Copies of this chain bind each other. A is one copy, B any other.
Amino acid sequence: MINYSQNIKQQIHTQTQQNIIEEDICFDRYGDLTLTQQQQQNTNRNWIKVCHIDQSTVGNNILLRARIHNSRIQGKIAFLILRENWYTIQAVSIKGDSASSQMLKFIGGIPLESIVDVEAVVAEPNFQIKYCTQKVELQIKTIRVISRSASKLPIQIEDASKKIVDFNQNLEYQYQNNQLSLNQRLNNRVLDLRTPAKQAIFRVSSGISLFFRQFLIEQGFIEIHTPKLQGYTTQNDNIKNFKLKYFNQDAILSQSSYLYKQMSLMGDFDRVFEISPVFQAIHGNTNRELCEYTCMDLEMVIKEHYTELLDLTEELALFILKEIEKRFQQESKIISQQFQFEPITISQPIIRLTFLEGLKLLQQSDIIKHPITYMTISELKQLGKLIKEKFGTDFFIMHRFPREYEPIYVMPCKDNPEFSLSYVLFLRGEAIASGNQKIHHPELLSQQIQKVGIDFEQKRGYINSFNYGAFPHGGCAFGLEKLLYLYFDLKNIRNSSLFPRDSSRLFP
């Protein structure tokens, strides 16, 4: 470290400091590193992460790179709070042998959020440090600015980190205590992401896709990649499609990869999964929907009965939920400090009820009074509450939905063709995944299509996939952002998307 300092001591000062070099005993201990200085050969110095600086490192000389989270000069002492991810540590510089008044002034003038390299000694603090994650203190030996932030930030990290006490769906709404609106956060997403809860949320997000893959690979699935650019024919003329010109053809962006997953199965890949973006042109801005989200899909052959699929999906969901609980305890705590969620509870055995049984529960509670074949989102939410009260669980499965509200490709129930082999997994009364057995029989599929009055010729391409020997099969799709948003009760799904897209937001 000493060598490095000496090598560059002639270079480290920016022009504004040239005039004070003669009288400053600490001239080689601080400054802005220019870009050229930053591109030294690799010096193989040891860098420590803030999270690793603790009691066990007291007395050590350390080197770290972090942001200036906060700073103040109090008499002869500069107090800094340095931040790396969500970890913070206090660093001090005391006027005397190790810091000149010029150095203190320099430190006090570094804008918040700037990135600095600090050489320091780890020490026990004189007073207990409450407002940092790390409980030891750094005595600064050298401090060099790697990247200076603009002095005025569009939003303050501290404001963006505040506890959300009055959640409102209106994106422009400012909470009490001058909290930021969701739009202010999203317009300045790079700063908003630096807050502890967001740091934690996207670490859990990474974990969820890992758990999804891990479970399925152990179950003999392979990962595939299906095209998001799909041929546009009147057969997929759907108001929710994003359309575009593909050279001289018309194309849409995939809303779901089920067709290509089905075709992969017919191509003899028995069990496949995919994690990929899907797109839906949803007007209006609800708190539950995005125009682009991450779909975690699986599709598998079925030997005898669709419970093979349903059982596997249930196990998969429980595996993911339990792994989050087990491996992300610290992240959960941090998220709860901003979002104040109730931890989910899952009672055994897993509640698995049919649509008719769900309906009966709602009717017994006088929530639904007339005969229906459909439940609204609010009725489903109320069903979730009823089940929570009755069985003490936030997670349940409803299956055998009425045919008339399911897509035509869903297999009817053997014992009652008014219902279909379809199911939904619920968490806190909202869907985190839905699945079904699909029709693999080309003639039955044709009949369905004719029954609902769609032109048969339009669907020929789809039906043809099943003409050359077709396996009974089914699949299921999870929404990654939805799962994350419901697990931590984040109030708005935008909080679980890194750079969310809705009908008015395409930037950043």
Residues of A within 8 A of B (CB): 35-36, 38-43, 45, 47, 65, 67-68, 84-85, 111, 113-115, 146-150, 153, 189-194, 198-199, 202-203, 205-206, 209-210, 213, 217, 222-231, 242-247, 249, 251, 253, 260, 263-264, 266-270, 275-277, 279, 281, 283, 291-292, 294, 303-305, 307-308, 411, 414, 440-441, 444, 461, 465-472, 480, 497-499, 501, 503-504, 506-508
Contacts and interface: CB of A to CB of B under 8 A. Distances in A.
A277 B228 contact: yes
Copies assembled: 2
A113 B467 CA distance: 10
Contacts of A441: 35, 147
Nearest to A154: B468
Contacts of A303: 47, 65
Given A42-B305, A467-B149, A498-B264, A223 B206 contact: yes
29 contacts: A38-B472, A39-B305, A40-B304, A41-B304, A42-B307, A67-B268, A68-B469, A113-B468, A147-B469, A149-B468, A190-B266, A190-B465, A193-B264, A193-B267, A198-B267, A206-B223, A225-B294, A228-B279, A228-B292, A229-B279, A229-B291, A229-B501, A246-B506, A249-B506, A253-B253, A260-B498, A276-B277, A461-B507, A465-B508
A292 B229 contact: yes
A225 B193 contact: no
Contacts of A470: 115, 147
A289 B305 CA distance: 42
A225 B277 contact: yes
A148 to B, nearest CB: 7
Nearest to A480: B225
B506 A251 contact: yes
Contacts of A498: 224-227, 260, 264
A361 B234 CA distance: 56
Given A229-B292, A244-B244, A469-B148, A85 B42 contact: no
Contact of A202 (B189, B210, B224, B228): B224
Contact of A244 (B42, B242, B504, B508): B242
Nearest to A225: B294
Contact of A281 (B247, B264, B307): B247
Contacts of A228: 228, 277, 279, 292
Contacts of A85: 268, 270
Contacts of A270: 85
A501 B228 CA distance: 10
Contacts of A294: 225
Contacts of A249: 506
Contact of A469 (B45, B115, B223, B304): B115
A308 B42 contact: yes
Contact of A226 (B244, B260, B499, B506): B499
A233 to B, nearest CB: 9
B199 A269 contact: yes
A222 B247 contact: no
A113 to B, nearest CB: 4
B507 A67 contact: no
Nearest to A191: B468
Given A39-B411, A225-B277, A231-B507, 14 more contacts: A35-B441, A40-B305, A42-B308, A43-B304, A68-B469, A114-B469, A147-B441, A149-B469, A153-B468, A202-B224, A226-B499, A227-B498, A231-B506, A246-B291
Contacts of A146: 471-472
A80 to B, nearest CB: 14
Contacts of A506: 229-231, 246, 249, 251
Shortest beta-carbon contacts, A-B, top 9:
A193-B267, A244-B244, A206-B222, A39-B414, A149-B469, A42-B305, A113-B469, A206-B223, A231-B506
Contacts of A36: 414
Contacts of A209: 223
A142 to B, nearest CB: 15
Nearest to A37: B414
A268 B194 contact: yes
Nearest to A250: B506
Contacts of A39: 304-305, 411, 414
